[in-house]
Structure 1
């Protein structure tokens, strides 16, 4: 797997590579360091050469067709190409899906820890927020049912369940049984499942299972959001996909104003078509390299930080690390950044509260020597705080 050196990566000048301290190892925001897929880079270069900088063409079928073929090949999911809609990004899609497919006066629910923008959806859409803790690394179906019941009984029923699948930051990839149970529960309570599947191409050992694919009920209640952003590292090109799985939702979406689909990038559109049409060996190589990084983390972490808790993810390139029982304690994220020069994401971002203190999310989509350097620095930091 080709990974540029850190000097070359710094020239990207993206959020990950714009830190003021040149000694800082950026292992926070979910950007990968892998070189861009040649077919994706070529598609972007061709569009630039054509000066393809105007407005995207409404109704262009290529992205829907490319994604439908990709989903059928990779996931065994039959998608109607006409029900694949380009949008600017998944976060915008969450907002639009809640507004479009749920009623005002309902609540938005999701499991914690959670992708940080989930915490903003209630405010953005004028709805209450209901949070339900995960049971370790799994969705707690009994707790979800209880939350739905309590919300209904107090007069603000849940209208949308935001599902992060695969889960960020835990890396959990739900199985068919769990997804069917979530869909049945949602249908019973009149809840729409808005499934963020942006990490779907990055599942280890088996194909991703789209939430909408597991049953007729799931197809009826689920709205799917995805993008090439994570697996092909093109988030800045701004083109995600909102995917519908029943004709009634397609009819409702068709009635939304143009502002609901305008805003995606024409370069992002071309890059996304190229990504979904490209040779999937790129994904296989990426997953193999990432598994090697997780092997290294799993091997070294107990010696580097005695007491740290880590559950190997089933998907994604992020690791959720619990430092609370180590010498770093609840200050782990700050100490890693300030003293070890390893910048990870603070766990409190994913809990919306102090319950996340002591947790960090580490991005492993990097060169193995970068990971080794980070672990060396963490080992020295833990040793210093153990003996001080």
Structure 2
């Protein structure tokens, strides 16, 4: 079975765009294919997270195939919330490994700037239980606020330590040329930035934005290898895992174990982590699920500097959702691109001697997670 490698990447700076999604998608696809030293005629697989409902163009992948004249053996659009791009990428990897596709493009595009607030809330309500949940008017920050309350209560975690995760990621994101922010912040500014869903504040919530990214996956050994893939979904939907605390993330633990096993590696082999963590306590809980820190110590470890790019456990050197910006259908691919750059030594905030990188994607309240492990390719 051939090993899958990332041989090309394409991105756009996050922000606001007045061009239609197809133009943004075309730009990053062409950039990624050129970066791989390939042509559009070489592409025989196209994999995408299904664009958001407010994207005017439907049947997006087939429209793009026709527009660009691609002749593909496989194409798909996946929609499972925030894991959509992560699962699309893993599908491409599986097809390359199996020999069904030789040159796969994984593409994500999103324009959050085009939807009105009321329409967005109506869309969000549809992800909750229509009979018992949606009528109460829940929100995504509201669900995460509950887990933050439980995390702080269960482990006596200080809000200052949680806010330090935002400070660290904003500092990392300032160095990211594709990110939204040009300045950092402080613990005081984070905690005083205004309430969103008690106790979450504005700066503790990810900034929605427009963006697009693409990766080329082939069996060519010139690029970093996709060494392992894993995924897991526990029996829950947005309101906490049955029999487990809201301060736990079993999907992270299970998917990471699967991905690391597939890679023939352990968490101790990972040099850099680029997880999908839309709220600061989720990053802390993520590190605890992987056994990097004791339960309840993840936020304090960040405050101690242990998860900085120059620390022993570098987490989110790109800035992640909080320090870079967060178009959910694109975020997993941005995490993968950061992993590729770290291994190639070209990241904006480079972790020294990074050879193995672990990324995740998640949806809802981390009810479903994908894990992807990258390592140096063997030319």
TM-score w.r.t. the length of structure 1 is 0.26
Pick the structure with more helix per residue.
1
TM-score (norm 2): 0.27
Which has the higher relative contact order, 1 or 2, with Cα contacts under 8 A spaced 6 or more apart?
2
